[in-house]
Amino acid sequence: ELKVEQNPLFLSMQEGKNYTIYCNYSTTSDRLYWYRQDPGKSLESLFVLLSNGAVKQEGRLMASLDTKARLSTLHITAAVHDLSATYFCAVAQETSGSRLTFGEGTQLTVNP
Protein backbone atom coordinates (compact mmCIF):
# COMPACT_ATOMS: atom_id res chain seq x y z
CA GLU A 1 0.00 0.00 0.00
CA LEU A 2 1.35 3.39 -0.97
CA LYS A 3 1.91 5.76 1.93
CA VAL A 4 2.68 9.44 1.55
CA GLU A 5 4.04 11.48 4.43
CA GLN A 6 4.58 15.21 4.60
CA ASN A 7 6.80 17.06 6.99
CA PRO A 8 6.15 19.36 8.70
CA LEU A 9 2.39 19.32 9.15
CA PHE A 10 2.31 22.86 10.50
CA LEU A 11 4.71 25.61 9.62
CA SER A 12 4.75 29.16 10.86
CA MET A 13 7.34 31.40 9.34
CA GLN A 14 8.18 35.05 8.96
CA GLU A 15 8.02 36.94 5.74
CA GLY A 16 11.29 36.94 3.89
CA LYS A 17 12.47 33.60 5.23
CA ASN A 18 13.12 30.38 3.34
CA TYR A 19 11.83 26.94 4.18
CA THR A 20 11.34 23.48 2.70
CA ILE A 21 8.41 21.10 2.91
CA TYR A 22 9.20 17.43 2.46
CA CYS A 23 7.10 14.68 0.90
CA ASN A 24 8.18 11.05 1.32
CA TYR A 25 6.42 8.14 -0.32
CA SER A 26 6.76 4.42 0.17
CA THR A 27 6.63 2.74 -3.25
CA THR A 28 7.77 3.51 -6.75
CA SER A 29 5.85 6.19 -8.56
CA ASP A 30 5.93 7.83 -11.92
CA ARG A 31 4.15 11.06 -11.06
CA LEU A 32 4.08 13.43 -8.14
CA TYR A 33 1.89 16.49 -7.75
CA TRP A 34 1.90 19.51 -5.49
CA TYR A 35 -1.32 21.35 -4.74
CA ARG A 36 -2.30 24.43 -2.81
CA GLN A 37 -5.56 24.73 -0.90
CA ASP A 38 -6.92 27.95 0.57
CA PRO A 39 -9.49 27.78 3.38
CA GLY A 40 -12.90 26.78 2.09
CA LYS A 41 -11.57 26.21 -1.42
CA SER A 42 -10.67 23.25 -3.57
CA LEU A 43 -7.21 22.29 -4.79
CA GLU A 44 -5.10 24.43 -7.07
CA SER A 45 -2.47 22.57 -9.06
CA LEU A 46 1.06 23.89 -8.53
CA PHE A 47 3.48 21.39 -10.03
CA VAL A 48 3.56 18.06 -11.82
CA LEU A 49 6.85 16.18 -11.50
CA LEU A 50 7.32 13.28 -13.85
CA SER A 51 10.90 12.11 -13.69
CA ASN A 52 13.87 11.72 -11.40
CA GLY A 53 15.69 15.00 -10.95
CA ALA A 54 12.76 17.05 -12.18
CA VAL A 55 12.78 20.60 -10.88
CA LYS A 56 10.05 23.15 -11.48
CA GLN A 57 9.77 26.71 -10.29
CA GLU A 58 6.95 29.20 -10.17
CA GLY A 59 7.53 32.47 -8.42
CA ARG A 60 8.75 31.84 -4.87
CA LEU A 61 8.01 28.12 -5.00
CA MET A 62 10.31 25.43 -6.35
CA ALA A 63 9.57 21.71 -6.39
CA SER A 64 11.96 18.86 -6.99
CA LEU A 65 11.72 15.10 -7.24
CA ASP A 66 14.19 12.36 -6.31
CA THR A 67 12.61 9.07 -7.29
CA LYS A 68 15.47 7.02 -5.92
CA ALA A 69 15.03 8.50 -2.46
CA ARG A 70 11.24 8.60 -2.96
CA LEU A 71 11.32 12.21 -1.88
CA SER A 72 9.96 15.45 -3.19
CA THR A 73 10.59 18.89 -1.77
CA LEU A 74 8.70 22.15 -2.04
CA HIS A 75 11.03 25.02 -1.33
CA ILE A 76 9.73 28.44 -0.37
CA THR A 77 11.99 31.39 -1.03
CA ALA A 78 11.53 34.74 0.70
CA ALA A 79 8.04 33.90 1.90
CA VAL A 80 5.23 36.43 1.65
CA HIS A 81 1.89 36.45 3.44
CA ASP A 82 0.03 35.46 0.27
CA LEU A 83 1.69 32.05 0.39
CA SER A 84 -0.25 31.18 3.56
CA ALA A 85 -2.28 28.08 2.66
CA THR A 86 -2.25 24.31 3.03
CA TYR A 87 0.04 22.46 0.64
CA PHE A 88 -0.51 18.85 -0.35
CA CYS A 89 1.67 16.46 -2.24
CA ALA A 90 0.03 13.56 -4.03
CA VAL A 91 1.60 10.53 -5.60
CA ALA A 92 0.39 8.34 -8.43
CA GLN A 93 1.41 4.73 -8.10
CA GLU A 94 2.79 3.24 -11.30
CA THR A 95 0.18 0.51 -11.43
CA SER A 96 -2.82 2.57 -10.39
CA GLY A 97 -3.32 4.75 -13.43
CA SER A 98 -4.54 8.16 -12.41
CA ARG A 99 -5.41 7.26 -8.82
CA LEU A 100 -3.66 9.53 -6.30
CA THR A 101 -2.59 9.08 -2.71
CA PHE A 102 -2.39 12.35 -0.80
CA GLY A 103 -0.09 13.41 1.97
CA GLU A 104 -1.53 14.82 5.18
CA GLY A 105 -0.95 18.39 4.07
CA THR A 106 1.28 21.14 5.44
CA GLN A 107 -0.50 24.16 6.84
CA LEU A 108 1.73 27.15 6.17
CA THR A 109 1.28 30.47 7.91
CA VAL A 110 3.49 33.35 6.86
CA ASN A 111 3.58 36.12 9.43
CA PRO A 112 4.39 39.75 8.63
Site for another protein in 78-97 (CB under 8 A): 88, 92, 97
User: With contacts defined by CB under 8 A, how many residues of the chain interact with another protein?
Assistant: 21
Does 104 contact another protein by CB under 8 A? yes
- Give the x/- contact pattern for another protein in 38-77, rule: CB under 8 A: --xxxx-x--x-x---------------------------
Q: Where on the phi/psi map is residue 13: left (φ > 0), alpha (ψ -120 to 50), or beta?
A: beta
Cβ-based nearer residue to another protein, 18 or 28: 28
Which residues have C-beta within 8 Å of that of residue 13, sequence separation ≥ 6? 19, 76, 79, 108, 109, 110, 111
Tell me, what DSSP letter sits at residue 68?
A: T
Q: Where on the phi/psi map is residue 30: left (φ > 0), alpha (ψ -120 to 50), or beta?
A: alpha
Does 18 contact another protein by CB under 8 A? no
Binding site for another protein (CB under 8 A): 31, 33, 35, 40-43, 45, 48, 50, 88, 92, 97-100, 102-105, 107
